[in-house]
Amino acid sequence: MRRPLAVLGWAERAAALLNTVLLLALGVSISTHAGPLRRDEVSTLQLKLRMVSPPPWPPCTALSGAR
């Protein structure tokens, strides 16, 4: 016969694993069903960040032929 604490430890690990799998599945489901409003908000944020931050290096003019 198994000890009660060993069975309890096994059940606790099984419950933790099941909760982890369910939370991961929920996260994937939410991210794949992102609606148009969420996509618009992300696009607006990306556009704003692109307009505010300067490029990390100056544009390369050597390839365009400008001197």
Confidence of residue 53 (pLDDT cuts 50, 70, 90): low
Structure tokens at 45: 């944020």
Does the global pTM surpass 0.85?
no
Q: Using CA atoms in the order 10, 12, 14, 16, what is the torsion angle rounded to 10 degrees?
A: -150
**Higher local confidence (pLDDT), 11 or 38:** 11
Gap between the Cα atoms of 39 and 31, Å rounded: 11
Amino acid symbol at 5: L
Average pLDDT, the chain: 79
Gap between the Cα atoms of 43 and 48, Å rounded: 9
Whether 14 shows a pLDDT value over 90: the answer reads: yes
pLDDT 10s digits, 22-41 = 999 999 998 888 777 777 78
Gap between the Cα atoms of 54 and 36, Å rounded: 29
